[in-house]
Amino acid sequence: MEQHWGGQAMSGRWYEQAIVYSLDVETFQDGDGDGVGDFAGLTGRLDYLAGLGVTCLWLLPFYPSPNRDNGYDVTDYYGVDPRLGTLGDFVVFMQEARERGIRVLVDLVVNHTSDQHPWFQAARRDRHSRYRDYYVWTDEPPQDTRAKLVFPTVEDSLWEYDDAAGAYYLHRFYTHQPDLNIANPAVREEIRRIVGFWLELGVSGFRVDAAPYLIEQLGITDAPIDDPHRVLRELRAFLAAQRGDAILLAESDVPPDELRSFFGDGDEMHLLFNFIVNAHLFLAFARERAAPIAASLRALPAIPPGGQWANFVRNHDELDLERLGDAEREEVFRAFAPDKDMRIFGRGIRRRLPPMVGGDPRRVALAYSLLFTLPGTPVLRYGEEIGMGDDLSLDGRTSVRTPMQWSGEAGGGFSTAPPDRFVRPVIAGGEYGYERVNVARQRRAPDSLLNRIERLIRARKECPEFGRGAWRVLETGEPAVFAQESRWKGGRALALHNLAGDECTVSLDRQDLGEGPLVELLGDRDYEAAPDDAGGIRLGAYGYRWFRVGAMRH
Ligand code: GLC
């Protein structure tokens, strides 16, 4: 089939082809030498991000906060935490990002506030305050709500008694994060105001924190909303009215049969994080078998036009294995988190990928090649492009939130402050220390992970099929090989991944693939032998190869 240069019809949906990169301003780059990352530092790194090929940044919460949950405990939705800069610095950052064609998403954390938020302080002090109903109160909490705890090993109840309030308040997450009462129209009005504010400053959308909890009606006895998804529809309509190309990317870690409802009829969330495939990726890595990936892709609901999956390897939280069966979870734990201390909340792993796979660069690269070919939009996290490790001596999920490693200079190039002033220690010494794992060093090494990921991103951008195409899993007869074909607007792209440590040769049904040669786009190495007529395709140990089928364009 013929390829047309420049002939791609526009979908107008930029997020379907975006390369998203998430970072926490606090740990990315310190610009003023006080040991804390800031907007000035981040702005100075925009050329690095543009060079990598990133088209959209997702910033973790940077709002004023007591910072007891990495900023997910907000005290003011309209500002920048003074440690990270000023609103003026934010605007300069936005201008510089726009200059480079990089869009920005910010976190919308409105399931709860910090208990230090002025709304909560007013609410607890005065039963008649107009802020009282911003939160969810009860005089007598229901018995035994343990099953619903998000942090089961840290908290022991969903309800906390507040002396000043003389009542219990609901907190889905930590005790210091009282849940907002979404059934209260005044709260929904506040959310619109927050959304409008950041849109006005130029953001392209929001990562909607804890979306399922945001709209649940737990504990709300007074005038609950009949259809909680109305909240998300209203949010979407407001967003669209303000800025037509802005998007909502939701954290909605629910079972597969509940996922579809968050897309609505194309009138709720634009993107959902693909937690299902994420957990199964790790099962596949543990087994060195392709089947879990294929099965999890098939388990996903059909999504309405304009809906999209956001794929990721690791995020800033634990690797959540809740969506696996008990025996499967144990398998992944045994393979990648043999020590109890590597696990968290009874359901997850608090490590980054490279240490999980014993630092094997082939397995690390394989994971990112998969990320850039799976149906959906890839989301990278800072430090993944250089294979950063974790620091298990840090508490809880902080283990995977250490400062970015820029160079082999003292402090890893993150900050010039004395290391004891660092917001968090940079990983030093050993296999993952900044002396060995850093951007400067990898820039100079042609086959470094950094350079590989840059090439993967370039190839991914040239293969829009992987973003939103119709996909299918191809039979190869080799259980370790995941082979996927994606078709979109007349183009056909093919990706093969060998999850095992043995080389193999697989055959594809050429009839199945249609006319034309297989044109090699990229691989884990230079495979001299092109696929033969019988479709024999060699794959190295943990190898990968991308092809275009019947391509004019390559
Ligand atoms: C989300 C965030 C997590 C945070 C929680 C509470 O799950 O990803 O880091 O602790 O919300 O806001």
pLDDT tens, residue by residue, 483-502:
999 999 889 999 999 999 99
Cα→Cα distances 9→13, 433, 468, 487, Å = 11, 46, 13, 14
Structurally, what CATH architecture does the domain formed by 118-170 represent? Alpha-Beta Complex (3.90)
Token pair 């037509």: residue: 244
Which residues in the chain land under pLDDT 70? Answer: 1-11, 144-147, 532-535, 551-554
Position 2 scores a pLDDT of 35
Position 535 scores a pLDDT of 66
For ligand 1, the distance from its centroid to the CA atom of residue 464, given in whole angstroms, is 31
Does the active-site annotation cover 209?
A: yes
Structurally, what CATH architecture does the domain formed by 467-549 represent? Sandwich (2.60)
For ligand 1, the distance from its centroid to the CA atom of residue 72, given in whole angstroms, is 6
Q: Is the CB of 210 under 6 A from ligand 1?
A: yes
User: CATH 3.90.400.10 occupies which residues in the chain?
Assistant: 118-170
Alpha helix segments (H runs only) across 429-542: 439-444, 449-461, 465-468, 510-513
Position 124 scores a pLDDT of 98
Whole-number Å distance between alpha carbons of 397 and 86: 27
Q: Is the CB of 72 under 6 A from ligand 1?
A: yes
- 3-state secondary structure at position 482: strand
Catalytic residue, chosen from 30, 73, 115, 251, is 251
Q: Is the CB of 317 under 6 A from ligand 1?
A: yes
Do 120 and 178 contact (CB within 8 A), yes or no?
yes
- 3-state secondary structure at position 179: strand
For ligand 1, the distance from its centroid to the CA atom of residue 251, given in whole angstroms, is 9
Q: Is the CB of 268 under 6 A from ligand 1?
A: no
Q: Is the CB of 173 under 6 A from ligand 1?
A: yes
Whole-number Å distance between alpha carbons of 11 and 334: 44
Please tell me the pTM assigned to this model.
0.96
Do 521 and 547 contact (CB within 8 A), yes or no?
yes
